[in-house]
Structure formats: structure tokens, C-alpha cells
Structure 1
């Protein structure tokens, strides 16, 4: 099977799963599509001799994760270089936002990119800590710290959301 057939079959069979993975990483459907497309282009422009769907998918997911982290680093760098022309916004009115329910994607947006990547790899991909550390190129202890902080932050956001939802139901 040539690389073109493998890429087509991968998209047909696992395309929606790849898009969901990208969406969990970045929280934006259009950006998730871009992550999938960019990863496929990067993986299949330098084809191996013996691609198959089973071996290509993990590699595509790895490229998606790396691209997401790279894009975030670029955004942070870019925004730090932008001149600070705008005046700071006033304090957020939490009372006005209290009726808004948060879903898991908006809760994930509260995490740092590394925390988000660790949480997605650990709980969505169901990878052990050692594998998450290997994929992110860091130690297991670092992954555990990111997971602990990320889960704690998610817990706070989701508990707050749950309490607001209960108040709305009364």
C-alpha cells in the first residue's frame, strides 16, 4: 500500500478521531482541522516504505501535539513583542457571567498548554505517565506536576460551573 492510499484510509477511518484530538488540544474546530491537515502533510511528505494505518496514526498524533505546542510558543512570543497600545480592560464582572455554563473545552482553555497536553494525553489518550513524559520530552515528575496542577484547576472550574448550574435549576 502506497503512502497516498494510507493517508486516504487514515482520514476515512480515523479522521473524526484525529479532529476530536486536535479540538481537545486547541479548543477551536478550525484550528483542529488545521492541526490534522498540517500533521498529515508533514507525515506523508516524507513517506516511509512501509506505511500502514496502525503505524501512521500515532505518528500523526505526535506531530499534531508538537505543532500545537509550537504554535502556542509562537503566539506567546508574538504577543510579547506587540506594542502595548491598548489600555487595560476593567475588572471582569463575575456576577454577569455567573449564569454562563462552562463545558469541558472551556475548562481546558483555563490550563497552560503543557497542562492541557498532559491532561489530554493522560485522560483522553489514556496513556500512562511514562508515555506522556516520553511524548512531551520531559520527566515523569514534570508530567505528574502538570497533571496535578491541571486537574486541580479543572476541578475548581468545573465545581464552580456545577454550583452555578445548581443555582440556575432552583
Structure 2
């Protein structure tokens, strides 16, 4: 998406307002899709994603998945729906389950050795894995996300942190 007044594409982002007594906090669920366990977001990643970065993702349908490795940055992605997103980050994994529809909008993070989560991006899409929806050497899973730096520069304020 290209926001009004900006000369660059900001990936795949949306913003919503939380009204009333609802509260939002900077936490990421960990574990399977039915887990109620979470970890605080310690901070956001202070540099743009780079090839080789290791990331985790979380989604409503598949839960937390780690082991992703960034393979491309500033990518143009063409979705099967016909839409196109620019300035996206692509990551792959060759073992484990792929993300599926319904995981979009989930967090992408890096978790350090102390278990602290750093916000890295926002999941947009992915797929792969062949008929069993599981990554392998010949049918890797793919993850497409918007870098947290684009979210911070596109919208007012910054990502909340612990």
C-alpha cells in the first residue's frame, strides 16, 4: 500500500482504533493455536530485516512457529487473489507446518536466548508445503511479512513495547 503523501510502498498494513474500555498490550502468544501463554514484546527490532535473519511467527490458525530464515527483502509479491504488495520480506523454512489462511496480521518476531521477543514485522501471507502443508527441501514453506520499520515509518507513533 502507498499511503497518501508517501513516495514509497509500505508493504501490507492496516490500522484500527481500540475504543472504550478495551486495552491492548504488547504481548505475543507462544505455543500452539490454543495456548493462552504469552511473552512480552521487549522492543522492536532496530534495523531492517536482512537475508539470513531468523524469525518466528504467530497466527490464529497455526500458533507460534519458529525456524524461519529471511531469504529476500524489498520483494514484490503477487498473491493468488490478484493483489500485489511491494517492499515485503520473504522467509522460508524446510521443516514443520506452513502458515495458512487466517494467520494474516499475526506477529513476526525474533526471540533472543533470554526468551525476550523483539517485534520484527506483521504477517501478510505465505504458503508452500505441498499437499501435506508441511515444509520440505523440495516444497519449503514461505512466509511473507511487512518489516516493522515500514510500520513505524508509515503510521504515527511506534510499536508498543514492554
- Which TM-score band (shorter chain)? under 0.3
Larger Rg: 1
More strand by share: 2
How high is the TM-score relative to the length of structure 1? Answer: 0.19
Higher relative contact order (Cα pairs below 8 Å, separated by 6+ residues)? 2
More helix by share: 1
How high is the TM-score relative to the length of structure 2? Answer: 0.20
